[in-house]
Structures are given as structure tokens and as C-alpha cells.
Amino acid sequence: MGIVEAREIIKGAKTISVLTGAGISAESGIPTFRGAGGLWGKYRPEELATPSAFARDPELVWRWYNWRRGIIVKANPNPGHIALARAEVSREVIIITQNIDGLHQKAGSKRVIEFHGSIWRVRCIECGCETENMEVPLKKIECECGGLLRPAVVWFGEPIPDQVLQASFEAIGECDVLLVVGTSAVVQPAASLAMLALDMLKKVIEVNLEATPISNVVDISIRGKAGEVLPQIICG
Ligand code: BJW
Ligand code: ZN
């Protein structure tokens, strides 16, 4: 299964970078996007996670995000998040998460790059001002300037902010090992970070319940639950 080899590689690493996806939060009760029970099963992504969907029906998009806020606000980090936070005690750990749920920070991880933004921030589509907002549900969707507030997340067709992309490239450049956990590795440019790490001759270890498009190219691919595998491969 690769557990023993993965543990050895991680033991010898000074800096670990970690790319996480929805799968790491599944055991905290947050639905994933794709696969059985995934969010895309019930909703069409192009109806909800695009700027044009928001322009067409902001109320519908906000209903979806308010529903997700309600789930996320009650969720707690699971042993997968906690193992990654504990790993910081004895080495450098940089987390690049595609998740917008804030659970890595809640687990205590200090260096977290929110690649697709955060569900707990809102941004005005007119004046661009961005603020933290923890209401469940959001009380009003208008900004003081009269513009509409949207979730400060990255939708399909939108670019990853430059500084986020730069910080992620640096995290790949700095690391000895990249862990890729609970992502279907189909959404770009996040998925290409794993390929970048391989190009830079970094060790890449994948942890996922299922095979993904990168399973055959990474150094070690472990099939299992993040909450069970991570505590076994990250010791001390
Ligand atoms: C477990 C587990 C357990 C379960 N333990 N594992 C054709 C080719 C290439 C690219 C494109 C293309 N056509 C269009 C594009 C671009 C597009 C894209 O990639 N599309 C693909 C789908 C084809 N990308 C974009 O549009 C991006 N922007 C962009 O390209 O900009 C270009 C540009 C440049 C300059 C100017 C303008 C534009 C933006 C992508 C944004 C994605 N946004 C979302 C929503 C975020 C906000 C929100 O949450 O509401 O991000 S979509 C959704 O997918 C979300 C996720 O972060 C992302 C990735 O999903 P993730 O995390 O991998 O989850 P799942 O559900 O897919 O997988 C879960 C995995 O966990 C599974 O593998 C399970 O097996 C596993 N698992 N339980 C371990 N317990
Ligand atoms: Zn405004």
C-alpha cells in the first residue's frame, strides 16, 4: 500500500507541502463535489459556481452558499487535518488547500494558502471591497455602495489571484515532499501543481479513496481515507 515507504519519506523531509481537496473534509461531514453524494450530483456547477450564474440569479447562488455555510459552521477538523497541523511541530509545513471551509486553520495549521478563496469572506462586485463575514445565513447581499456581495471564492473561468499562485509555486519549490490529499485532480490550475512538483523532481505522495488522473505518475499512491492514512504516515 505504500504506507511504510511514505512514512520514511516524510520522516526525512525538512519541508512538506500539501495540496488538499474536498476529500480531506469529507470525514468532517462536508460533501465533496464529484463522486457519490457529491455536490455536483444534485446541482449543475455551471448553474452555481460561475460568474454568469451569479449574474443571472444571485439569490439562487447565495442559497447554495448559505446551505454550505450551515454545514461548514458546525464542522470540526478530523484526524487528517489534525495530523497535518501536528506535523508543524517538527518541520516546515505549507498547505495549499482548494477547500473554502477553513478547517486547516481551525485544526491549528499556520501556513495555509486558500487557493480557491474562503466561504467566510464576501466581495462586492462593484467596488471590489472584501470583508470577513461569518453570518449563517448572510443577512443582506447588498454592499454599502449598492453593489451585490458575492462569496470571495474562485469560480470556473476566473483566474487564481496572482499572489496566491506565486505563493503556491514557491511552496512547491521549497518542499522536499508534496502530499496530494483528497482531490480528484481534474480542476486546473490546482491539479497542475502536482505535475509541477514532479517536474521539479520532488517526491509526490497521493492519498485518496480512489484512483485519479495523477495516481500513475506520482511516487506513491495510497488508497484510503485521509483521516486514517495521514496519522499513520505523519509521525511526530
Ligand atoms: C477522499 C475521501 C476521504 C473522498 N479521504 N479522499 C479543459 C482543460 C483544462 C482546464 C479547463 C478546461 N476547461 C475549463 C478549464 C478550466 C477550469 C477547469 O479546470 N475545468 C475542469 C473541470 C475541466 N478551471 C477554471 O476555470 C479555473 N480558472 C481558470 O482556469 O482561469 C483561467 C483564467 C486565466 C486568466 C483570466 C481568466 C481565467 C478556476 C477553477 C475554480 C474551481 N472552483 C471550485 C469552486 C470553489 C468555490 C466553492 O467551493 O464553491 O473549486 S469548483 C470545485 O472543484 C471547487 C474545488 O476546490 C475544486 C476541486 O475539487 P476537489 O477538491 O478535487 O473535490 P472533488 O469532489 O472533485 O474530489 C474529491 C476527491 O476526494 C475524490 O477524488 C475522492 O475520491 C476523494 N475522497 N473522500 C481521501 N475520506
Ligand atoms: Zn461595494
pLDDT for residue 47 = 72
pLDDT for residue 236 = 62
Mention every residue, 6+ apart, whose C-beta is less than 8 A from residue 170. Answer: none
The radius of gyration of the chain from alpha carbons, rounded to an integer in Å, stands at 18
pTM for the whole structure: 0.97
C-alpha 87 – ligand 1 centre gap (Å): 26
Cβ neighbours, 10 Å, residue 23: 26
C-alpha 105 – ligand 1 centre gap (Å): 21
Residues designated as active site: 116
213-217 long-range Cβ contacts below 8 angstroms, 24+ apart: 213/185, 213/186, 214/180, 214/185
pLDDT for residue 21 = 98
Q: Which residue puts its alpha carbon closest to atom 12 of ligand 1?
A: 188
Q: Which residue puts its alpha carbon closest to atom 57 of ligand 1?
A: 98
Cell numbers representing residue 126 in the block? 462593484
Question: Relative to the alpha carbon of 141, which ligand is closest?
Answer: 2
Question: Relative to the alpha carbon of 125, which ligand is closest?
Answer: 2
CA distances from 78 to 24, 32, 82 (A): 8, 15, 6
Half-sphere exposure of residue 10: CA atoms within 13 angstroms, side-chain side: 29
Q: Please, what are the averages of pLDDT over each run of 10 residues along the chain (236 residues)? A: 93 98 98 79 77 95 95 98 96 98 98 98 98 98 98 98 98 98 97 98 98 98 98 90
pLDDT for residue 35 = 75
CA 215 to chain centre: 18
CA distances from 112 to 31, 69, 75, 94, 191 (A): 21, 20, 18, 6, 17
C-alpha 117 – ligand 1 centre gap (Å): 13
Closest atom of ligand 1 to 226 CA is: 5
What are the pocket residues of ligand 1 if the criterion is a CB atom closer than 6 Å to any ligand atom? Answer: 21-23, 26-27, 32-35, 38, 49, 98, 100, 116, 153-159, 182-184, 186-189, 207-210, 212, 225-226
Question: Relative to the alpha carbon of 156, which ligand is closest?
Answer: 1
Closest atom of ligand 1 to 34 CA is: 66
